[in-house]
Amino acid sequence: MDQPLSSTVEAKKGKKAKKRRKESSLWWMYLPSVLLVMLFIVYPFLDGIRISLTNWNGFSQVYDYIGLEQYKRMFADPDTWLVVKNTLLYGIGSTVLQNIIGLGYALLLNHHLKVRTLTRTIIYLPVIISPLVMGYIWYFFFAYQGGALNDIYNWLGLDPVNALGNPEVNPYIIVFVNTFQFVGVAMIIYLAGLQSISKEYYEAANIDGASSWSKFKNITLPLLAPAITINVVINIIGGLKLFDVIVSLTNGGPGNASQSMSTFMYSLYFARQDAGYAATQGVLMAVIILVLSLAALLYLKRKEVEA
Amino acid sequence: MNQVSKRAKWFLTAVALVITLLHLIPYYILLTTAFKRAGDFSSKWLFPEYFSLENFTAAWEQANLSNAFMNTFVITFFAAAMLILFGSLAAYALARRQTRLNKYVYMLFVAVMVIPPLTALVPLYQLVVDVGLMNTRLVAVLNNVAAFLPLTIFLYAGFIRSTVPKELEEAAKMDGASTIGIFFRIVFPLLKPITATVLILSCVYIWNDYQFAIFFLQDSDMHTLTVALASFFGQNTSQLGLVGAAALIASLPMIFLFLFLQRFFIEGLAAGSVKG
């Protein structure tokens, strides 16, 4: 009675083992990747949470764990809210502009115009230039002394403006430059989306006598939903992380007026040796980016299903 | 899309041309700035009446751009090579072997994609100091590879699942080929299109990187182009001609690469977005 049972178990085990051997994970193939990501991304991310609970200055060997003091300080610090406000403006402002303008450009170029390749090339070109350099290029345009914008003001007989030094204006210039630089990405993704829409939908709508607007609203937009999702998510993440272009345009100034969370964290750490507090700001930034990008992703995915 | 009349097409072409011109303005200003001698305060909208490369030679010398070019090139080259090797190997195992372990590892890479690397600036900086990699090209290579690996693996894995047929690998296995042999001789050559996409995306990103470089390569011998440019700007805020020339020199390699390989840049992005 025992004998046959155990032998079937043995047989099953043997089969399983054979299957497992065939399905080995090949873990050595991804070992270097896992180690690199663990060491340079996951570990620093977790260690950042630990440092945010200290009063470390960034170089001293001794420091104390002070609980949530840095978090209390952060929420009471008016600079935090200024910087969060700027970061949201950079993230959401650029996302809105890049998507509206990018879609507009894509719709225009989707008519098979003769200048299509030329226009596409020029609009996409800034994507491959360093954002730092792009900031300098626009600095030549907006600079108070010898900037191209003030040359125009001069010709019109107007007083020169210090656009980059004006805290009321310069965050919008940063949004503008970031949009100019990356609108080409949105345009290309929308163009690819438009080209994947079957012509038959439009032909059917034409037979029904649908207006251009109703075709756009009922056919184009719903079928572009996946492209909208990708664009919104990558633009939000890119905009919330903005760093280089701020360094070259305003360096976060005047004061902290145009600082983003990235540049603020940098100045807290390197200029003010306030490492514990900088790490706390880093945690807040990670939370904001995670929450906003996931919220956008989930919302748009739900819309995609409905459409 | 819709058929439009000839007249409408002319109108749209005109609109496209106006948009193109508007997008060219910053480059035009960059050129007029870069070619103007120091002390020439004429309008930025006009080219100088003389031709002089003074700014370019001066910027090349003073900003030590030859050294910065070398550093940037070495870092970009090795980082891109490591990305392609590690990324394709990892994606192959994760895409082909659906074990429980592999599912978790794949999830790890996808999750890591949403962690913005620099939110952990403080501990990352400390880690680099602790392991003695401060001011080495290696740290820029490793950081860029780690930051770009999750996306690379994601793109490769998607491509392997959707386009590389299993049959070839199974046939090779019957003939007794090893896993690594199958990967390099059969699978890797089939990955060419996605390798081109990864190469272009990562090279542009790493060549233009400023965030990692400014933190970890502060020693002037180790400066990459962006860091050299930023410090050069700091010393010459009133001499925009010099900065313009340096900015132009630093951007030219990528601009040429883009103009010659434009198809790959744009198709790669479009294909990646449709699949993703």
Cβ–Cβ gap A122/B24 under 8 Å: yes
Q: Give pLDDT, residue B276.
A: 43
Run of H or E residues at B155: helix B137-163
Q: How far is A2 from chain B (nearest CA, A)?
A: 33
Closest CA to A190 of A112, A103, A120: A103
Whether B123 sits inside 8 A of A47 (CB atoms) is: yes
The whole-model pTM stands at 0.89
**Contact (CB, 8 A) for A199 and A207:** no
Instruction: Report CB contact under 8 Å: B258, A109.
Output: no
Interface of A with B in 66-125 (CB under 8 A): 105, 107-111, 113-116, 118-125
Contacts of A226 (CB under 8 A, 6+ apart): A193, A304, B274
Predicted pLDDT of residue B38: 80
Q: Which residue of B94, B112, B258 is in closest CB contact with A30?
A: B94
Confidence at residue B21, expressed as pLDDT on a 0 to 100 scale:
96
| Same domain (yes/no): B158, B238 | yes
Give the CATH number of the domain where residue B170 resides: 1.10.3720.10
In this complex, do A237 and B45 lie within 8 Å of one another by their Cβ atoms?
no
Q: Are residues B142 and B100 in the same domain?
A: yes
In a domain, B144, yes or no: yes
Which domains are assigned to chain A?
78-306 (1.10.3720.10)
Inter-chain touch B45–A151, beta carbons under 8 Å: yes
| Same domain membership, residue B143 and residue B189 | yes
Per-residue model confidence (pLDDT) at position A58: 83
Q: According to the model, what pLDDT value does residue A22 have? A: 55
* Residue numbers of the domain that contains B27: 6-52
A90-99, A135-144, B70-79, B106-115: the lowest-pLDDT one: B106-115
Whether the CB of A244 is below 8 Å from some CB of chain B: the reply is yes
**Residue-level length of chain A:** 307
A contacts of B211 (beta carbons < 8 Å): 243-244, 262
Q: What is the pLDDT of residue B60?
A: 92
Q: Is residue B129 part of a domain?
A: yes
Same domain flag for B43 and B123: no
In this structure, the answer to whether residues B14 and B108 fall within a common structural domain is no
- Residue A207 in contact with partner chain B when CB distance is under 8 A: no
Nearest CA distance, A12 vs chain B (angstrom): 19
Residues B26 and B80 in one domain: no
Residues of B in contact with A29 (CB under 8 A): 89-90, 92-93, 183
Cβ of B15 within 8 Å of Cβ of A108? The answer is: yes
Residues B240 and B271 both lie in one domain:
yes
Helix A225-240 with B262-275: angle, nearest 10 deg: 110
In a domain, B57, yes or no: no
> What ipTM was assigned to the predicted interfaces of this complex?
0.89
Q: Two tokens at A39?
A: 């060491």
Same-domain status, B143 and B15: no
pLDDT tens, N- to C-terminus, chain A (307 residues): 344 444 444 445 445 444 445 568 888 999 999 999 999 999 999 999 999 999 998 888 888 899 899 999 999 999 999 999 999 999 999 999 999 999 999 999 998 888 999 999 999 999 999 999 999 999 999 998 888 899 999 899 999 999 999 999 999 999 999 999 999 999 999 999 998 888 888 889 888 888 888 889 888 999 998 899 889 988 998 899 999 999 999 999 898 999 999 999 999 988 888 999 999 999 999 999 889 988 988 988 888 777 6
* Whether B67 and B47 share a structural domain: no
Query: From CA B208, how far away is CA A108, in angstroms rounded?
Result: 30
Q: In this complex, do B122 and A196 lie within 8 Å of one another by their Cβ atoms?
A: no
Q: Nearest Cβ partner of B233 from A27, A136, A243?
A: A136
Q: How many Cβ pairs closer than 8 A exist between chain A and B?
A: 287
Average pLDDT over residues B244-256: 92
- State whether residue A301 sits within 8 Å of chain B by CB: no
Q: For chain B, what is the domain count? A: 2
Q: Is B1 a domain residue?
A: no
What's the pLDDT tens digit per position in B132-185? 999 999 999 999 999 999 999 999 998 999 888 888 888 888 888 888 899 999
Contact A247 B229 (CB under 8 A): no
Is the CB of A291 inside 8 Å of chain B's CB atoms?
Answer: no
Q: Are residues B74 and B150 in the same domain?
A: yes
Higher pLDDT, A166 or B266: A166
Is B184 contained in some domain? yes
Q: Judge whether B42 lies within some domain.
A: yes
Q: What is the pLDDT of residue A245?
A: 95
Nearest residue of A to residue B13, measured between CA atoms: A113
Whether A137 and B26 lie within 8 Å, measured CB to CB: yes
Note whether residue B58 is domain-resident. no
User: pLDDT confidence of B28, banded at 50, 70, 90?
Assistant: very high
The nearest alpha carbon in chain A to B252 belongs to: A129
